[in-house]
A and B are shown apart, each in its own frame.
Chain A
Amino acid sequence: MDDNQTFEVENLSFWGKRRFVLLIILAIIISSVLVSVAMMMYDGSGAAQLDLSRPGYVDVRNRTVDSSGEFKNYSSSGTIDQKSIDEFKALYDEQASKTKTADAFKGDPLNPDAMGINTTP
């Protein structure tokens, strides 16, 4: 029995004898391809811009605001009557006002004047 097994191993091809090494190489290649695809999706989808766990964002990581609790759930089912319309208008106006008040990205901080590199008299 043992003699037969030894004989079979000796008859195996080069890669047949190195199946375990081949398995590891293939696993590394496949995982590298999958990681590359994942990184492309992460970068291309804009998810990277929302990821504050990246290095350099430690200081602001705790300053994210979870607004989902602020938005009261307006039921997507039920009848439509004046009361339900008024309820929606009140909820919408409250959140619209908060959203518009923030006026994000206003100003021009990259202006040469603001950056202190406008040396024109």
Chain B
Amino acid sequence: MKIPNKIPVICIALTVVLSGLVYLKVSAEASPAQISQIRNECSSLKNTLNQLHVSDALLRVNMGQRYELMSTKLMDRFNNRAASNNFKTEALSESANNYKSMLDIFRLDYKAYEEKMVLAIKIDCQSEPSVFYDALMSARSGRAQVYSDVVKLNQQIDDYRAAVSQFEKSYQAVGEKG
């Protein structure tokens, strides 16, 4: 089957036009006034981003440690103790595992956010204000995702506490029967 000579040319032309449209759509998110303001405030914006980057890193270290300790020094130890006394610990283990999975997601999302932040900081906002704006918005959504993970982690902490209360009720019920 012979392919008409014009088809590859049309495909390339369509690709170029569509790429241009996508670029225009992305860069259209920042208004001309915003682009102008980014150019004017470039060094100040970079300073703000750098400060936030550093303070978020500190927060990540401190909170990450705290979240880790909730798991290793409390949840795991209580689960082990209950299991070694031959109590049913499925609910406790499931809750602790959900917490650990969420903690892994938090780590990955923070890493993704940090990478986006570094990318935004590296962009020259004087010469590429619209690219800088896009990177800024990308970092913003990354940070929102990290906060969403924190909310879910806090929820998992409550869920584990509820599982402990349930375990306590079961323990008391067994004690009353015995």
Question: Which residues does A use to contact B, with CB under 8 Å?
Answer: 46, 49-50, 52, 56-57, 59-60, 63-68, 71, 73-80, 82, 84-85, 88-89, 91-93, 95-96, 98-100, 102-106, 108-112, 115-120
Contact = CB atoms under 8 A, between A and B. Distances in A.
Contact of A63 (B58, B76, B137): B58
A40 B8 CA distance: 40
Interface string B44-67: 110010101111111111111111
Interface residues of B, number: 66
B107 interface: yes
Is chain A's binding surface mostly helix, strand, loop or mixed?
loop
Contact of B157 (A50, A59, A73, A99): A99
Given A49-B57, A96-B158, 4 more contacts: A96-B161, A102-B66, A108-B144, A109-B143
B161 A108 contact: no
B69 A71 contact: yes
Is chain B's binding surface mostly helix, strand, loop or mixed?
helix
Contacts of A92: 74, 78, 160-161, 164
A67 B144 CA distance: 25
Contacts of B41: 116-117
B66 A76 contact: no
Interface in B102-144: 107-108, 110-111, 114, 133, 136-137, 139-140, 143-144
A78 B83 CA distance: 11
Contact of A68 (B69, B74, B168): B69
A80 B55 contact: no
A67 B65 contact: yes
A68 B150 CA distance: 20
A99 B31 CA distance: 40
Given A88-B74, A110-B143, A76 B80 contact: yes
A105 B56 contact: yes
Given A80-B171, A108-B140, A110-B139, A71 B74 contact: yes
A65 B63 CA distance: 9
B70 interface: yes
Contacts of B52: 109-110
11 contacts: A46-B108, A46-B110, A57-B58, A74-B73, A80-B81, A95-B74, A99-B63, A105-B150, A110-B143, A117-B133, A119-B37
B85 interface: yes
